[in-house]
Structure 1
Amino acid sequence: MTAPFQTTHADTRWLWHLGSLLQLKATGEDTAGRFAITEHTCRQGAAAPLHRHSREDETFVVLEGELSIHIDGQVFSAAAGSLTFAPRGISHAYRVESPTCRFLALITPAGFEQWFTDTGEPATSPTLPPRPGPADTAILADAAARYGVELLGPPPH
């Protein structure tokens, strides 16, 4: 059993990850492994590579802006207020289509949120980081594999 908890803007854990600002709103440590919630603030063009989770479902809730979410060959246009579900075992990726975008990712069960910690860096301020250079896909893939996630290809265009 987990105890009730609340996170606020002041006590959120902030990371810079692949050119985006990420907030760890709730982790498996907070929820006894039941779920994790991350909030992403991204620039246009930010994208996740095509990948497949073996353990987690992932749900995207767009707060501001627009994503294109690619799931198993379908493309979902996800504007503010939309919810898009990507079940485990199915390939998916996203791309930011608007100048900026802010969205929540619900990861069930928890665990994969640690990949962001492993491959990101603590943010020195709650702002978008400088634009990054090319990502080292071998490092990202090795870290993802530790969480049962397979990188399948580049981000969508």
Structure 2
Amino acid sequence: MAQRMNNAFSVGRGEGDAYWFNITLMEVKATGEDTNGVFSLLEELHPPGCETPLHVNNNEEITYYIQEGELAFSVGEKTIRGIPGTCVYVPRHIKHKFKVEGSSPAKVLTMFTPAGGEQFFVERSVPAAEYELPTVPVKPNMDTLEETAKKYGIEILE
């Protein structure tokens, strides 16, 4: 059970709010409300082949920490291979994307600094019925996806 005392808190595996976003499982470990806006943290499980669109976050920096699996990142003009133990930092205003490589899912911690970016995913997702990847994609409504992205300072480029 997640424990919150004073301003300190802990959230164990499966204790955060879990959501399905398209083909991904996301567990919210910390929100801006939890951290007084300092940062937010998501634990994400992405299936093989999962790929984000090229996009820019204008409101926060993003730090990815790969726990399991392998990802190929495109950050600005750089290509970065992310394997377990790799930390990838993306400053705000820099175009980026990633793709899960290989035949295994990838587990990634994603931190937004300052907090706020996590709310895009909370707003665009559905609560996960189980703590596992969705068996059927939860397709986002593309007509309103870009509108929601803009609300959170995200520009989708492709």
Is contact 2:20–2:133 with CA below 8 Å preserved after alignment? yes
* Counterpart secondary structure, 1:138: helix
Indicate the larger mover: 9-18 or 143-152.
9-18
| 1:8-157 → structure 2 map (5 Å cutoff) | 8-98=12-102, 99-132=104-137, 135-153=140-158
**Are the structure 2 counterparts of residues 10 and 76 from structure 1 closer, same or farther at C-alpha, using a change threshold of 3 Å?**
closer
- Which residue is equivalent to 2:3? none
> Which ranges of structure 2 fall in alignment gaps of 5 or more residues?
1-5
SS of equivalent to 1:28: coil
Which of the residues 10, 13, 29 maps onto 1:6? 10
RMSD over equivalenced CA pairs, Å: 1.4
Q: 1:134 to 1:10 in 2, by over 3 A?
A: closer
| TM-score normalised by the chain length of structure 2 | 0.91
Which ranges in structure 1 are unaligned for 5 or more consecutive residues? Answer: none
- Which amino acid letter does the alignment assign opposite residue 126 of structure 1? Y
How high is the TM-score relative to the length of structure 1? 0.91
Q: Which amino acid aligns with 1:73?
A: E
By how many angstroms is 1:84 displaced? 0.6
Q: Which amino acid aligns with 1:21?
A: L
For residues 97-133 of structure 1, the C-alpha deviation after alignment (integer angstroms, 9 at most, x for no partner) is 1321101001100001001111110001101102427
User: Percent identity over the alignment?
Assistant: 32
Deviation at 1:141, TM superposition (A): 1.1
